[in-house]
């Protein structure tokens, strides 16, 4: 789409406002809006200024002026706005050098795609993340010098089976039994359908939606595969749309990896494949699960760098409440066909060469999707370039292995701090082609340690009072 075509799209849809969206380093959309009449073709070249020092992970105050360059190909009518609004996803550049900003995650994704082509291994990569989420009826939390709590509630929650609701009608999914009951147990069918229709209207192709395993309103909506940067855009549109439609219904969407204790958390299983000359290079009719040597080496790269990857793809302290044995959590660094107890699963639904892909199950929806997909691609390419052997497949339930067998399989790190330490030690594969820069990695690690790891570590936890109050 050209700038002229993007402007014309807004005109045809009756846009009154234009919204410029961009992502901060941790992975949250930021934005500001202008009247639609102010959007000109030269805006797409000259850019729009903003204060980079006010954005997490960006500039210092003495170098705060930055520019947004809207991407006309990203144009969509914003499903969250009651006033017709054309939204444009932007890249960040320096106003003096006019160079792309190295801490702009969308630029990292674009560099990853360019690096893939430069290797000659493949022309294009396709990505299909499965983001899980909760839609709750109520969520409250606070943390101060003398108290700390969170409170979650859901009309679906099994914990409310005995609550007087005038009338109480039951039909609440039991713990870990939310996959796939029909309404009235699934009380969010129409809301998810509304979200799907809004996503389609915004240009996001959707394949399926359903309730997920946990009680209390866990769901999943799957998007059709797309190229790396475009899928990063779609993940952000996806989260934006779900959050705002939930609010419209006086409910709240939550993408935390583990909001509920002792029930399944929310992951982001990422399907990925590489293509060259319109052929899937992962496919081999004689290979294990129809995966050839390139695909096996790609898996080898993911497994080798998994601990470091976790610093980017499972990037919160809450991520490691999900990454524990049980609850279908992908903690075992192994691969297998059909097997959801391994962190790499090779789907076998179809024998078509076009359908052959690998699914990496460790990421979660709290990640910055551009950094997540770019890092996974770089790890996989390292595996292909260095012919990394992933070892033997494990076609057994890894959760039921005897201890002596389980010792043979490495596991994901046990905390965000461990993952960041691994990323600090193992990041050379990310620097190839200048896809990630050392500055970005150092800034990411510093922010995560200072704001999140230390922020959680230094505060008393409510459960500590349960354990220690009477000492």
106, 357, 361, 427: the active-site residue? 361
19, 212, 284, 364: the active-site residue? 212
71, 104, 113, 132: the active-site residue? 132
104, 156, 186, 220: the active-site residue? 220
230, 240, 269, 322: the active-site residue? 269
Sign of dihedral through CA atoms 263, 347, 255, 78? negative
Neighbouring C-beta atoms of residue 152, cutoff 10 Å: 21
Query: In 325-334, which positions are buried (b, 16+ CB within 10 angstroms) versus exposed (e)?
Result: eebebbbbbb
| 212 a catalytic residue | yes
Listing DSSP states for 195-215 in one string gives: HHHHHHHTT--EEEEEE-SST
Dihedral pair phi/psi, residue 48, rounded to 5° = -130, 135
CA 148 → CA 142, 159, 364, 457, distances in Å? 6, 22, 25, 14
Compute the half-sphere exposure of residue 448: CA atoms within 13 Å on the CB side of its CA: 31
| 220 a catalytic residue | yes
Rounded CA-CA distance 319/321 in Å is 5
| 132 a catalytic residue | yes
19, 71, 104, 359: the active-site residue? 359
Beta bridge partners of 18: 34, 86
| Environment class of 449 (CB within 10 Å of its CB; exposed 0-12, middle 13-18, buried 19+) | middle
CA 240 → CA 53, 131, 192, 316, 346, distances in Å? 24, 13, 14, 20, 30
| 417 a catalytic residue | no
51, 190, 405, 442: the active-site residue? 51
| 340 a catalytic residue | yes
| 130 a catalytic residue | yes
Cβ–Cβ under 8 Å, residues 327 and 263: yes
24, 78, 113, 130: the active-site residue? 130
Beta bridge partners of 22: 30
210, 340, 432, 449: the active-site residue? 340
Query: Catalytic residue numbers?
Result: 51, 130, 132, 212, 220, 269, 340, 359, 361
């Amino acid at each position: 789409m050209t700038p002229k075509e993007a402007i014309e799209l807004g005109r045809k849809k009756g846009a009154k406002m234009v919204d410029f969206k961009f992502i901060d380093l941790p992975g949250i959309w930021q934005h500001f809006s202008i009247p639609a009449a102010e959007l000109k073709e030269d805006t797409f070249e000259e850019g729009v200024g903003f204060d980079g020092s006010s954005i997490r992970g960006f500039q210092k105050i003495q170098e705060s002026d930055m520019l947004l360059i809207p991407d006309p190909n990203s144009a969509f009518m914003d499903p969250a706005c009651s006033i017709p609004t054309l939204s444009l996803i932007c890249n960040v550049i320096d106003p003096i050098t006019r160079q792309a900003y190295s801490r702009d995650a969308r630029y990292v994704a674009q560099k990853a795609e360019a690096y893939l082509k430069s290797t000659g291994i493949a022309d294009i990569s396709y990505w299909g993340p499965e983001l899980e989420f909760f839609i709750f009826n109520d969520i409250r939390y606070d943390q101060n010098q003398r108290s700390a709590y969170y409170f979650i509630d859901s009309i679906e929650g099994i914990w409310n089976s005995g609550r007087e609701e005038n009338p109480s009608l039951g039909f609440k999914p039991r713990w870990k039994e939310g996959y796939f009951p029909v309404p009235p147990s699934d009380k969010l069918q129409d809301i998810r359908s509304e979200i799907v229709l809004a996503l389609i209207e915004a240009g996001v192709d959707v394949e399926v939606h359903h309730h997920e395993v946990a009680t209390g309103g866990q769901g999943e909506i799957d998007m059709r595969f797309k190229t790396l940067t475009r899928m990063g855009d779609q993940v952000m549109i996806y989260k934006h749309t779900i959050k705002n439609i939930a609010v419209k219904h006086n409910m709240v969407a939550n993408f935390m990896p583990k909001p509920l204790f002792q029930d399944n958390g929310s992951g982001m299983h990422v399907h990925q494949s590489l293509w060259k000359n319109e052929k899937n290079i992962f496919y081999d009719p004689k290979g294990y699960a129809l995966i050839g040597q390139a695909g096996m080496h790609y898996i080898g790269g993911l497994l080798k760098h998994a601990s470091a990857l976790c610093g980017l793809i499972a990037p919160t302290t809450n991520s490691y409440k999900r990454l524990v044995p049980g609850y279908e959590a992908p903690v075992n660094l192994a691969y297998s066909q059909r097997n959801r107890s391994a962190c790499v699963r090779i789907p076998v639904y179809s024998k078509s060469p076009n359908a052959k892909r690998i699914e990496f199950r460790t990421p979660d929806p709290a990640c910055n999707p551009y950094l997540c997909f770019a890092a996974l691609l770089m790890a996989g390419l390292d595996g292909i370039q260095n012919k990394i052997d992933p070892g033997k497949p494990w076609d057994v339930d890894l959760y039921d292995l005897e201890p002596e067998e389980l010792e043979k399989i490495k596991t994901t790190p046990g905390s965000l701090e461990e993952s960041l330490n691994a990323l600090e030690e193992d990041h050379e594969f990310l620097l190839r082609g200048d896809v990630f820069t050392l500055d970005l990695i150092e800034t990411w690690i510093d922010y995560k340690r200072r704001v999140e790891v230390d922020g959680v570590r230094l505060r008393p936890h409510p459960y500590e009072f349960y354990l220690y109050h009477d000492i």
